[in-house]
Amino acid sequence: MLTDHLQARLKKHQQKNKDFYTRSGLQVYFKDPLVDDQIDLERVISKFEGMVPSHLREEVEMVIVGWFDEFESRSINAFYDSGTLFVSNIQDSEVDILDDIIHETAHSLEEAYGYEIYGDKNIEKEFLRKRKYLYDLLWTQGYKLPVSTFMDTEYNEEFDMFLYKKVGYEKLSQIIHGLFISAYAPTSLKEYFATGFVEFYLNSEHKHLQKIGPALYEKLVLLQKQEALDNHS
């Protein structure tokens, strides 16, 4: 009886870790099986395609699930490179893996929609105002880095580790409440955009995002409508 149960569970696990294509043509490949056999990736991908408009998914051609050295060396769960989303097979839930997929899809847009996102510098100005305020908040609590570091919009590993390890995300989350969407959002301008993108599509109630980042919210609304604008022009 126990053997039958284990075999049935193994078969179900193998079925959930089988490569597949979606109707839109997205290829999903398992380099390594998902550790949590309760996660149904086909269901996750279906939600993803239902949430994010097709024109904002065009840069993503493949999703590869597995373990990669970059996850450990960079303390991340996913990354985007050349049309492919690389996603960790170690996930806490379907919500977590959906979050990762949407987040990296945001990064896939930076080349295709770079001018539309950053060209008018509205998001950058909003981000830097928040960074300067964060600098003041952290300084008063004894967490000190040069202000020039806070005024650099590009990713900086030293700054990333300063927030992640020295301040700590738990404490940082309290400090930035009402200022940034998450503790990872202050890391760089691109992460500010990507975390906002996730919030926009995972949470249909946009009041929080609109209040915290009005310029970012306005940009996300325009991107959502971009296909209609392009077709009209």
Domain boundaries, the chain: 2-112, 116-232
Q: What is the mean pLDDT of the chain?
A: 91
The pLDDT of residue 14: 52
Residue 170 Cα distances to 60, 94, 131, 165, 176, angstroms: 32, 23, 18, 10, 10
> pLDDT tens, 142-186?
999 999 999 999 999 999 999 999 999 999 999 999 999 999 999
> pLDDT tens, 16-46?
689 999 999 999 999 999 999 899 999 999 9
Can you state the angle between helices 214-224 and 189-202, rounded to 10 degrees?
60
The pLDDT of residue 1: 53
The end-to-end CA distance of the chain, in Å, is 65
The confidence band for 8, taking pLDDT boundaries of 50, 70 and 90, is very low
Question: What residues are paired with 65 via a beta bridge?
Answer: 30, 87
Label residue 81 left, alpha or beta by phi (over 0 means left) and psi (-120 to 50 means alpha): beta
Contact 53, 223 (CB under 8 A): no
Residue the block writes with tokens 């009005």: 214
Tokens (6 digits) for 87: 């996603």
The confidence band for 3, taking pLDDT boundaries of 50, 70 and 90, is low
> pLDDT tens, 39-64?
999 999 999 999 999 999 999 999 99
The confidence band for 5, taking pLDDT boundaries of 50, 70 and 90, is very low
Is the confidence at residue 7, as pLDDT, over 70?
A: no
Distance of alpha carbon 29 from alpha carbon 106, whole angstroms: 20
Sign of CA dihedral 96, 126, 55, 204: positive
Residue the block writes with tokens 């170690």: 90
The pLDDT of residue 13: 52
> pLDDT tens, 80-119?
999 999 999 999 999 999 999 999 999 999 999 999 999 9
Contact 147, 106 (CB under 8 A): no
Is the confidence at residue 227, as pLDDT, over 80?
A: no
The pLDDT of residue 233: 43
Contact 192, 183 (CB under 8 A): no
Contact 27, 62 (CB under 8 A): yes
Q: How far is CA 37 from the centre of its chain?
A: 23
Residue 159 identity (one-letter amino acid) = F
